[in-house]
């Protein structure tokens, strides 16, 4: 595979050997920097989410239902015990992980996963205390309804709002009907909850009949990337379109993002799904035709890559790219596609200012991206 990559990307990727670890380091020429891409670790089965601990370690989820520590030198711990039952099927399994904003005091974290139930499964979020190699006090704080037996479109990204509420992004579970357009299911929604699972006091449907109180925004297809804008504090999301029409949105309270009524995508195999605009439905900030299959998202804010500050970075599963978007306020003014050559599942800014990528493979990796000095 590595040899193949060399041939395919020889025009832009220079290979070098890292002299200390002997790990392979790729060099990639981009518009504003030559990047070095080093493999921190591999041997992860479809890693999905990443969280940085204060001691230089990371926590990484594997969709197959494992959570591990990764040390700074890339060694993997045994799986952390104490996870609940997880349905690993299709796109479902153990998904994202995020530390409590006061993790340093309480050792609490949150993770999303595909939770089994009588009528199928659904995206759920649990809170737990991390003590050594074990999770204790595991409590399910959110469980999407209804549970159904499809195996795709679970959403699953977790982001803390500035006030300490937790945003949970969801997917439509492939249930086209009008589920993403109705407020009494969690299909195709962003929800906003307090850390104990109660609806945020800021939510728009607290008093509305036939609406779930934890819903924040609706009309989404499948959101696998979300991040807070560093200046505005708003939640930015992207979502998968069908064939074409992947979108970036700012997920705002009581806004309808249109799926499946409006989309820039089309049916697999061709054919119109709907229209592209309708009154009362928000247009995306940016969309991709053809689809890039986006997963993972971060705003870059660190000093290590000064030319990339305030850029939005998005992973592409389909094209194996890191997509860099330059913004002017809420408008995308430039897009650069950086070929990494593996399906990118998550994109994070590390405490060291480096960019960390998870690759969606059976033998998945954590890649560390830095500018060449």
What does the binding site for Ca ion look like in residue numbers (CB under 5 A)?
257-258
Question: Which residue, 110 or 257, has its beta carbon nearer to Ca ion?
Answer: 257
Q: Residue 123: which of 148, 156, 99 has the closest Cα?
A: 156
Residue 15 CB: number of other CB atoms within 10 A? 13
Question: Which residue, 114 or 224, has its beta carbon nearer to Ca ion?
Answer: 224
Q: How far is the CB of 16 from Ca ion (least distance, A)?
A: 42
Question: Which residue, 60 or 262, has its beta carbon nearer to Ca ion?
Answer: 262
SS3 category, 2:
helix
**Separation between Cα atoms, residue 204 and residue 165, nearest integer Å:** 14
Maximum separation of any 2 CA atoms in the chain, in Å: 64
**Separation between Cα atoms, residue 343 and residue 318, nearest integer Å:** 6
- Looking only at the bridges linking them, the beta strands covering 225-228 and 158-160 are unpaired
Q: How far is the CB of 181 from Ca ion (least distance, A)?
A: 11
Compute the Cα dihedral for 139, 134, 295, 285 and give only its sign: positive
Q: How far is the CB of 194 from Ca ion (least distance, A)?
A: 27
Q: How far is the CB of 94 from Ca ion (least distance, A)?
A: 28
In the set 100, 153, 238, 240, the catalytic residue is 153
In degrees, rounded to 5, the angle at the alpha carbon of residue 306 between the alpha carbons of residues 302 and 343 is 70
Q: Is 278 left (phi over 0), alpha (psi -120 to 50) or beta?
A: beta
Q: Residue 116: which of 79, 148, 80, 156 has the closest Cα?
A: 148
**Residues 329, 330, 336, 341: what is their CA dihedral angle, to the nearest 10 degrees?**
130
Residue 334 annotated as catalytic: no
SS3 category, 103:
helix
Q: How far is the CB of 249 from Ca ion (least distance, A)?
A: 7
| Neighbouring-strand partners of residue 148 | 121
Question: Which residue, 126 or 190, has its beta carbon nearer to Ca ion?
Answer: 190
Q: How far is the CB of 276 from Ca ion (least distance, A)?
A: 9
The residue with its CB nearest to Ca ion is 258
Question: Which residue, 236 or 257, has its beta carbon nearer to Ca ion?
Answer: 257
Question: Which residue, 235 or 369, has its beta carbon nearer to Ca ion?
Answer: 235
What's the distance, Cα to Cα, between the start and end of the chain in Å?
A: 28
Give me the active site residues, please.
Answer: 153
């Amino acid at each position: 595979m590595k040899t193949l990559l060399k041939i395919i990307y020889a025009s832009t990727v220079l290979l070098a050997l890292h002299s200390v670890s002997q790990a392979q380091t790729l060099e990639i020429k981009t518009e504003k920097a030559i990047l070095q891409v080093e493999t921190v670790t591999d041997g992860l089965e479809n890693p999905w989410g990443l969280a940085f601990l204060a001691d230089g370690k990371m926590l990484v989820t594997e969709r197959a239902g494992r959570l591990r520590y990764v040390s700074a030198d890339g060694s993997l711990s045994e799986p952390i015990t104490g996870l609940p039952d997880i349905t690993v099927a299709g796109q479902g399994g153990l998904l994202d992980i995020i530390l409590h904003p006061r993790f340093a005091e309480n050792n609490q974290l949150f993770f999303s996963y595909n939770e089994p139930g009588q009528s199928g499964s659904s995206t759920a979020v649990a809170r737990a205390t991390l003590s050594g190699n074990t999770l204790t006090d595991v409590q399910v704080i959110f469980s999407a309804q209804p549970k159904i037996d499809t195996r795709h479109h679970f959403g699953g990204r977790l982001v803390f709002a500035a006030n300490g509420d937790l945003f949970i992004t969801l997917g439509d579970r492939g249930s086209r009907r009008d589920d993403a357009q109705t407020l009494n299911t969690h299909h195709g929604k962003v929800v906003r909850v307090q850390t104990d699972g109660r609806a945020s006091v800021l939510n728009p449907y607290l008093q509305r009949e036939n609406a779930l109180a934890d819903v924040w925004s609706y009309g989404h297809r499948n959101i696998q990337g979300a991040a807070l804008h560093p200046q505005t504090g708003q939640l930015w999301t992207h979502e998968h379109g069908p064939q074409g029409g992947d979108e970036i949105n700012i997920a705002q309270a009581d806004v309808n993002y249109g799926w499946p009524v409006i989309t820039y995508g089309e049916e697999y195999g061709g054919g119109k799904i709907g229209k592209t605009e309708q009154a009362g439905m928000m247009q995306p900030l940016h969309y991709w035709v053809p689809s890039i299959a986006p997963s993972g998202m971060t705003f870059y804010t660190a000093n290590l890559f000064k030319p990339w500050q305030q850029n939005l970075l998005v992973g592409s599963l389909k094209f194996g790219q890191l997509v860099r978007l330059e913004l002017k306020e809420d408008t995308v003014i430039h897009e650069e596609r950086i070929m990494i050559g593996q399906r990118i599942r998550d994109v994070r800014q590390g405490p060291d200012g480096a960019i960390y990528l998870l690759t969606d493979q059976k033998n998945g990796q954590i890649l560390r991206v830095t500018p060449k000095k």
